[in-house]
Amino acid sequence: RTLDSLGPLGSKTVIVRCDLNVPLATDENGAKSITDDGRIRASLTTIRELREAGARIVLISHLGRPEGAPDERFSLRPVAARMAELLGAPVGFVDETVGEAAAAAVAALSDGDVLLLENLRFNPGETSKDDAARGAFAAQLAALGDAFVSDGFGVVHRKQASVYDLAKLLPSAAGRLVAAELEVLERLTEKADRPYAVVLGGSKVSDKLGVIAHLIERVDTLLVGGGMVFTFLAAQGHAVGASLLEEDQLDTVRGYLEQAVSRGVRIVLPTDIVVAESFAADAAHEVVPADAIESSSFGAAGLGLDIGPDSAAAFAAAINDSATVFWNGPMGVFEMAAFAEGTRTVAQALTDTEGFTVVGGGDSAAAVRALGFADDAFGHISTGGGASLEFLEGKSLPGLEVLA
């Protein structure tokens, strides 16, 4: 159900679940700043449309993973300020989610006003595994509005009160961001132009097992970088020094490598690695062959922090040869300049290729923006990390299921 199914929304109070979970940095004086506002910008289309329709808008979101109680470090207050700048209109903020102050702030809204409530996860009911606890919190949220718009794509894979239970209590619909994200991801799952390449990175292979198993049956090329690559290299029998390694996944990864061969899927692993003496921005580092990581001057103590230049060039060539590319997860520790080149080269290749490119994930999106790439240089930048991976995995996502 899309926004249009809700009928005229003038003077109606509409609760909009956004994913305003943005990365924050705190300076030495304790002042917080938003380091990537992509998720705030992505939420504006729906908000603008609702304002034009004369709705009274109550935004709800989580930020980070506080433990069910107020915690100033995870306050959404800085997000309200940034949203007001981007929207060019005031965005009210109230430092509770449900309760008297929240209800009074909602009741004071006029047509077209926007109010952001405090972090949903300050309330234990939001993420509770207990249906009754979640339901009770959802009922408190529902009491604040006349209709519900689900637009937090990054969180639709979570069965949480504001994502799932609330949608059952009010007339509900998907917002414009959720609809746009689905259109792109459906294109990838149902009618991707071939050759189709997926680039996976990030630190943990265990987070990506489901998606790898699913993609091996569907893609032409799987390029693997990031911290998870060392488990692949170890599965091939290579020593990886002190690099990140998930020993308990070695057999699974070996299975994927064999399956790829039998299915004719090309798995491209790096052939060279940037190995560092320690995990530090100014650590000494060298490029060594991926099958001889311990040959660096740091011996078995060296740790791989990026794919090497030959690998980055090979990844770029494979990306250029593809008609569709999905990328999730940085190739190295891009936050440190010395280990950002692999991620930069892959991002550059995605922007150069004529194929349709999708960047999935909060981290990958933050990485390309931090490296100076413009959003419109890519076919689509998804606001969802876990959500886009679970969608590609073919899983049923609770936040979408409930709107069907």
Residue nearest to ligand 3PG (CB): 21
Q: Please choose, out of 84-92, 154-162, 199-207, 253-261, the segment that lies near ligand 3PG by the rule CB under 6 A.
A: 154-162
Q: Is there a contact between 290 and 347 (Cβ–Cβ < 8 Å)?
A: no
Radius of gyration of the chain measured on its C-alpha atoms? 22
39 is catalytic: yes
1 among the known binding-site residues? no
* Binding status of residue 385 toward ligand 3PG by CB under 6 A: yes
Interacting residues of 298 by C-beta distance below 8 A, sequence separation 6+:
241, 275, 276, 277, 284, 286
Catalytic residue, candidates 12, 17, 38, 39: 39
- Which residue's CB is nearer to ligand 3PG, number 34 or number 314? 34
Q: Is there a contact between 220 and 322 (Cβ–Cβ < 8 Å)?
A: yes
Binding track, positions 340-379, relative to ligand 3PG; x by CB under 6 A? ----------------------x-----------------
Q: In the complex, what is the shortest distance from the CB of residue 364 to ligand 3PG, in angstroms, rounded to a whole number?
A: 11
* Binding status of residue 155 toward ligand 3PG by CB under 6 A: yes
Residue reference for tokens 């990054």: 154
* Binding status of residue 65 toward ligand 3PG by CB under 6 A: yes
51 is catalytic: no
d(CA 393, CA 310): 30
- Percent composition of the chain: helix, strand, coil (DSSP 3-state, to 5): 45, 15, 40
d(CA 244, CA 227): 6
Binding track, positions 99-138, relative to ligand 3PG; x by CB under 6 A? ----------------------------------------
* Binding status of residue 21 toward ligand 3PG by CB under 6 A: yes
Interacting residues of 273 by C-beta distance below 8 A, sequence separation 6+:
243, 287, 288, 289, 290, 293, 304, 306, 307, 308, 311
Residues tagged active-site: 39, 204, 362, 386
| Residues contributing to the site for ligand 3PG (CB under 6 A) | 19, 21, 65, 154-155, 158, 362, 385-386
